[in-house]
Amino acid sequence: MAEFSSSPGAPAFGAHAATGAVRALIGWTRALPRGWLGKRLGFLLRRIAIALLRGRPVDAESLGARFRLFPYNNVCEKRILFSPRDFDEAERALLIGRLTPNFVFLDIGANIGGYSLALAAAAGPGARILAIEPQPEIFERLVYNIRANPFGTVKALALAVADRDGEITLFLDSRNKGEASVKIVSADHARQVKVPARALLGILEDEGFDHVDAMKLDVEGAEDLILQRFFAEAPQALWPRLIIVERGEGRWSIDLLALLEAQGYRRLAATRNNHILERGA
């Protein structure tokens, strides 16, 4: 299979635009009706398109932004390309509905930038969006996608957010690169990588934030490690008003939702993938 890069020196956006049958298949999958039948048909059309692509990336507009997508071993990229409404539609709508002129958003476990760029597309120039992603290959894709857009409000950090500073082992899932974890251990050294790690409060202090409007955490079960230390140390001025946290009850070592409620957060909703909580004034 040929190698394709999303590094800053890669071909400009549009060089890998979908054509012919692949373009038609993408359009059809996006237009399918909701429901079981539409989903099943979508999976079939998606498999045909992926086979026709033969490992090539696709440059596409989705969620209001431009992306170079590799829809093979990353569920996030498959959804953004073929079925963007399946990419946390309710969560994105809620965030966009809460935008203010100086909105601050933390995207922890940013993957290739779906949340960050969707929000940047709707936010004004005063927004500050911090996209944090530890996997080197996925981070390269994230940086390309940020640079492919004119927003200028998104900054990327190549870090694992954890409960301590230093170097940490990240365990990779070869079937879905969006599921790297510091807690789900693999003995396969080919699926491990050492990455720098920082505690959340230190990141906010380094970036000079004086408030956080919203934060999304998707770190495959390590959300409890991050937030337990954060709430023990951070001043309340830096506590996010809105938190979207991936559902990970089976992997958390504490009752994270109870911890959040003890800090004054109330549950707004539970979607298929996430809990959404808001802190009162």
pTM of the full structure = 0.93
Summarize pLDDT for 227-265 with one digit per residue, the tens.
Answer: 999 999 999 999 999 999 999 999 999 999 999 999 999
The DSSP call for residue 275 is E
Residue 2 has a pLDDT of 46
Following DSSP, what letter does each residue of 159-216 receive, concatenated?
A: -EEESSSEEEEEE--TT-GGG-BSSS----GGGEEEEEEEEHHHHHHHHT-S--SEEE
- What distance in Å separates the CA atoms of residue 272 and residue 116, rounded to the nearest whole number? 20
Summarize pLDDT for 68-114 with one digit per residue, the tens.
Answer: 999 998 999 999 999 999 999 999 999 999 999 999 999 999 999 99
Which pair of tokens denotes residue 69?
Answer: 């997508």
Q: Which domains does the chain have, with CATH numbers?
A: 20-82 (no CATH), 89-279 (3.40.50.150)
CB 159, CB 198: distance < 8 Å: yes
Summarize pLDDT for 170-217 with one digit per residue, the tens.
Answer: 888 767 666 666 655 555 555 788 999 999 999 999 999 999 999 999
Which pair of tokens denotes residue 158?
Answer: 């190549």
Nearest residue to 273 via CA among 98, 112, 92: 92
User: Which distant-in-sequence residues (6+ apart) come within 8 Å of 135 by Cβ?
Assistant: 170, 172, 177, 180, 193, 195
Give residue 54's identity as a one-letter amino acid code. Answer: R
Residue 1 has a pLDDT of 36
Residue 142 has a pLDDT of 97
Buried b (16+ CB within 10 A) or exposed e, 192-215: ebebebbbbbebbeeeeeeebbbb
